[in-house]
Amino acid sequence: MTGLTFIDSVGRKLLDQLQYFFQMLLMLYLSVRATLKNQSHGLRTIFGILSLQIFYTGVNALPLVTVLAMATGCVVALQGVQLSILGGVSMIGQLLVVFVVREVGPLLTALVVIARSGTAMASELGNMRANREIEALESMGINPLSFIVFPRLVGGLISVLCLSLYFIFISLLGGFLVAKFAHDISFNYYMTLILNSLTFNDAYLFLIKNTFGGVMIFAISCQQGFSVRKSPTEVPAVTTQAVVKSILFVVVFNSSVTVLFYFKDYLFSGLL
Amino acid sequence: MEFKNLSFSVADQKILEDVTFTFSLGRWVWISSEGGVGKSSLLQIMAGLKLSQKGSYSVNSKNVEELSFEEFLPLRLQMGYSFDLGGLIHNRSLIENLKLPLNYHKKKTRAEADLIAMDLLRQFDIQKYKDHKPSDAPGSVRKLVVLLRSLIHLPQILLWDDPTMGLQDETCQKLFSLVKKLQEQGAVTSVFIASQDQKILKHADCEKVQLSGYHLERLSAT
């Protein structure tokens, strides 16, 4: 009986999560549809909001991402220097690409964006809901999905992709500083190591993780913000939920992509 | 504007029950009731911001509840709705809030919209607050901007929720005179005001509709 209750509870939670996921997909679809249908209306206003979103999410996050990326690059390269006793200096390039480009870059960028912009967006939209700004937009014939959701989603996605690329660039720079200090490696040799380690698969992984991660962070934040009914006292709770749900989604999604990626490699190489 | 067997409730609170009612157009209508009975919700249903649970609401014989956002848009642009509290976009200045309907729907060029908005602000002597964010402006100015925003695009129908709340008599007088002037120019034809404030009658000749016992009743023409 206990076992059945447990299965029942897990099933319900799974169904709730699926329902939530499909609600978000519906919101994404409707926001794109509303924007395409409203092409004659306020595209200039929408682009204004989009560029502001890129500024707040992307440009303003650069100092924090720089520090994190530099530290990550240095630490991974230091580990590589230790391991290079076993495999030679060339391991540093592979290590940096595998850790930074494939895994840590997208994950840490997503966490920074969730912490800075996901929370800000969920609380902003929650307060807008409580202050009847969403209703005010509707009363003026402005669809909140094209005016609020679409520019934030697109601006957020562009920011995540650019920030992640920036993170990788700075990390590799940090890695070079350590490699130069420890092994006196020249910049050309270091770049050769990195470029030899990069493959198309790294680009696919980068794009898949950052694109889906970016979209989901902002979709979850918008969805949570819109879930406020009346009172500003609901805002802190929905903001916390936005953070928790975004982190869970990004971690589960990134891990699943990595597992599937290696599973595919093992499958094609005949190891499975 | 017609309700047919319309029922509406918020959470457990019943607001309207099986109401069939036709609102008179082409005049001022004062919707009154006791406090907390649901005047604001009624006005929101009329503006298409809330959907009823049962029955239908039609404007020009079109069932509003069956229309998508885009299908309702032409009707919505003929309406101007003003909130009792809140409703200004917090991250835009007061003048940007005021111009938003004109700019978004490209009803005027940006320069024309600037002129119209500034002229309205000047008429009420609040032009010094034009670049203030709503949170930095006095409550009466915020209220006035929401009211002015509802009529800046010259709608046919005005739906005002408690328009006199927080405004001085003199300002109310100016506001009602402005609406009358617009009516003379053929811009605004119908004005629906939900309020408990008896002073409304001082400013305009209204038909009175009472909301009580979950029903609407036409009381008198003053």
Residue B58 phi, psi dihedral angles, 5° rounding: -120, 140
Predicted confidence (pLDDT) at residue A271 exceeds the cutoff of 80? no
Chain B closest CA to A160's CA: distance in Å?
A: 23
Provide, as residue numbers in chain B, all residues whose Cβ is less than 8 Å from the Cβ of A37. Answer: 70
Round the average pLDDT of chain B to a whole number and report it: 88
Mean pLDDT for the stretch of residues A191-215: 90
Tokens of A155: 């601006």
Q: What is the mean pLDDT of residues A50-69?
A: 94
Most A CBs within 10 A among B40, B50, B93, B104, hence the mutation to make, goes to B104
Domain with CATH 3.40.50.300 in chain B: 2-78+155-221
Tell me what the pLDDT averaged over chain A comes to: 89
Which of A108, A94, A139, A122 shows the shortest CA–CA distance to A209? A108
* Residue A41: pLDDT band with limits 50, 70, 90: low
State the ipTM, two decimals: 0.90
What are the φ and ψ backbone dihedral angles of B29, each rounded to 5 degrees? -125, 125
Q: Taking CB atoms and an 8 Å cutoff, what residues of chain A touch B146?
A: 136
DSSP bridge partners of B57: B3
Residue B36 · residue B28 · CB < 8 Å: no
Nearest residue on chain B to A148, judged by CA atoms? B89
Least confident of A43-47, A210-214, B173-177, B217-221: B217-221
A-chain residues near B152 (CB < 8 A): none
Q: Verify whether the Cβ–Cβ distance A135 to B100 is below 8 Å.
A: no
Handedness of CA B182, B188, B192, B194 (dihedral sign): negative
| pLDDT at residue B140 greater than cutoff 60 | yes
pLDDT tops 60 at residue B221: no
Whether A140 and B101 lie within 8 Å, measured CB to CB: yes
A244 touches chain B (CB under 8 A): no
* Comparison of pLDDT for A180 and A80, the residue scoring more: A180
Tell me which of A46 and A235 has the higher pLDDT.
A235
CA pair distance A172, A202, nearest whole angstrom: 15
Determine contact: A43 vs chain B, CB below 8 A.
Answer: no
The residues near B39 (Cβ < 8 Å, ≥ 6 apart) are B31, B32, B33, B161, B162, B194, B195, B196, B211
Structural contact between residues B97 and B145, judged by C-beta atoms closer than 8 angstroms: yes
Q: What pLDDT, on the 0 to 100 scale, is given for residue A39?
A: 66
Out of B47, B70, B104, closest to residue A45 by CB: B104
What would the pLDDT profile of A121-142 be if each residue is shown by its tens digit? 999 999 999 999 999 999 999 9
- In tens, the pLDDT along B26-69 reads 888 998 888 778 888 889 999 998 888 888 899 888 888 888 88
Supply the pLDDT for residue A246.
94
pLDDT digits (tens, 9 = 90+) for A148-201: 999 999 999 999 999 999 999 999 999 999 888 888 888 898 899 889 888 888
Of A45, A136, A143, the CB nearest to B87: A136
pLDDT score of A1: 59
Q: Is A2 on the interface with B (CB under 8 A)?
A: no
Interatomic CA distance for residues A243 and A261, integer angstroms? 27
∠ Cα B133 B137 B142 (to 5°): 95
Inter-chain residue contact A142 with B100, CB threshold 8 Å:
yes
Which chain B residue has its CA at the smallest distance from A144's CA?
Answer: B69
A136:B88 CB<8 A: yes
Residue A81 in this model has a pLDDT that exceeds 90 = no
Q: Is A265 helix (H, G, I), strand (E, B) or coil?
A: helix
CB contact under 8 A, B104 and A139: no
* pLDDT tier, B211 (very low <50, low <70, confident <90, very high otherwise): confident
Is the pLDDT at A86 greater than 70? The verdict is: no
Q: Is the pLDDT of residue A68 over 60?
A: yes
pLDDT at A93 (0 to 100): 84
Q: Which of B89, B105, B106 sits opposite A136 (nearest CB)?
A: B89
Give backbone dihedrals phi and psi of A131, rounded to 5 degrees, phi first. -90, 10
pLDDT tens per residue, range A217-240: 999 999 999 999 878 899 999 999
Instruction: Give the pLDDT mean for B179-188.
Output: 88
pLDDT class for A49, splitting at 50, 70, 90?
Answer: confident
**Given an 8 Å threshold on Cβ–Cβ distance, is B44 in contact with A135?**
yes
User: Which pLDDT value is given to residue B147?
Assistant: 94
* Residue B97 CB-half CA count within 13 A: 31
A221-225, B164-168, B210-214: range with lowest mean pLDDT: B210-214
Contact A128 B90 (CB under 8 A): yes
Asked if A140 and B104 come within 8 Å (Cβ–Cβ), the reply is yes
CB A109 within 8 A of CB A164: yes
Residues of A in contact with B105 (CB under 8 A): 41-42, 141
**Interface mutation vs chain B, best among A31, A35, A140, A150, most B CBs within 10 Å:** A140
Report the range of poorest mean pLDDT among A41-45, A51-55, B59-63: A41-45
Chain A partners within 8 Å of B44 (Cβ):
135
Task: For residue A69, give the amino acid letter.
Answer: A
Mean of pLDDT values over B164-178: 89
Task: Kindly list the domain boundaries of chain A, sorted by start residue.
Answer: 42-268
Put simply, whether A33 touches B (Cβ < 8 Å) is no
**Contact state of B76 with A141 under an 8 Å Cβ cutoff:** yes
Residue appearing with tokens 């709730």: A16
What's the confidence (pLDDT) of residue A149?
Answer: 92
Which pLDDT value is given to residue A109? Answer: 95
- % of chain B at pLDDT higher than 70: 99
Instruction: Please state, as a whole number, how many other Cβ atoms lie within 10 Å of the Cβ of residue B84.
Output: 19
Residue A9 has pLDDT above 60, yes or no: yes
Q: Residue A152 is encoded by which pair of tokens?
A: 């934030």
CA-based nearest distance A246→chain B, Å: 25
Q: Smallest Cβ distance to B69: which of A127, A132, A143?
A: A143
Task: Tokens 């404030």: give the residue.
Answer: B197
Categorize the per-residue pLDDT at B105 as very low, low, confident or very high, splitting at 50, 70 and 90: confident
With a pLDDT cut of 90, the percent of chain A lying above it is: 56
Taking the domain B2-78+155-221, which CATH number applies?
3.40.50.300
